[in-house]
Structures are given as C-alpha cells and as structure tokens.
Amino acid sequence: MDETTAVEDARDGATTPSQVVTGFVAAFGTREAARLAPYLHEDIEFQAYGDAPVHGRDAVLAIWAGVFASMAAVEFRTLNRATNGDLVIEEQVHGLGLPGRPVAPIRNMAVYRVQHGRIIEWRDYTNPEYARTLM
C-alpha cells in the first residue's frame, strides 16, 4: 500500500470538507496525535486564540501529543456546523480533564479550511482564562 492509499484509508474515505472535519474531530477521542495526521495538510497553519500561529503538520502534532499526555480525558463534540465550499465552521465543546479532575466543558469555535482532502488552515477561538477556571 502506498502512502497516499494509507492516508485515504486512515481518513475512512472522507472526501468533502465536512466529512474531513467530522473524522478529524472524532479522532481526538483516541488521544493519539498520530490519528490526527491523515487529516492535516503538511503545510497546515494552526492558531489557537491568543497564541502565535503554528506552522506544519509535525509542529501541530507535537502540540497535541503534549496535550494528550497531560490530560486524562479529551472529548470533542460538535454542536453546530456551517460549511461554504472549502470552509467549515463549528461550534464545539472541548471536554478536557486533567488527571483526578472532572472533565471541563470548554466552549470553542473552530474554523477549518480544507484543501485536497486535508485541513490546511485551522483556527480555534475560545476564552482561555475562562477555560482555566473550569479545569
């Protein structure tokens, strides 16, 4: 199996921007950064509200590997979605639980741009100060 086929298989046949984002959000429940990789373009730019942009798939995966290692629970849930061409906007709840603590329901807006079946731009908007009070 070549690399392209392996990536397509890992994305479970997702072809539309909406399908790609659905699979991507579901992959967070595995708490394995490698499971996010097939959904991300190698040149992705990720920016969480208030933080500097992060460039490149490997850098984004490293961030999430750290998050997964520090959290006892990671549960992402989509409440609402709007799509327009290659753009997908989601209202989400990020359930994050530190070890020994309950899962904190953190509201988030995420904006994804999908190019050639992979997420090339991803911005998360949340209130980090409020999120810290929940955790």
Query: Residue 109, SS3?
Result: strand
pLDDT tens digit string along 63-77? Answer: 999 999 999 999 999
pTM score, two decimals?
A: 0.86
CATH topology of domain 3-134: Nuclear Transport Factor 2; Chain: A, (3.10.450)
Contact between 117 and 23 (Cβ < 8 Å): no
pLDDT tens digit string along 88-116? Answer: 999 999 999 999 999 999 999 999 999 99
Please give the Cα distance from 11 to 41 (Å, whole number): 13
What does the domain layout of the chain look like in residue ranges? 3-134
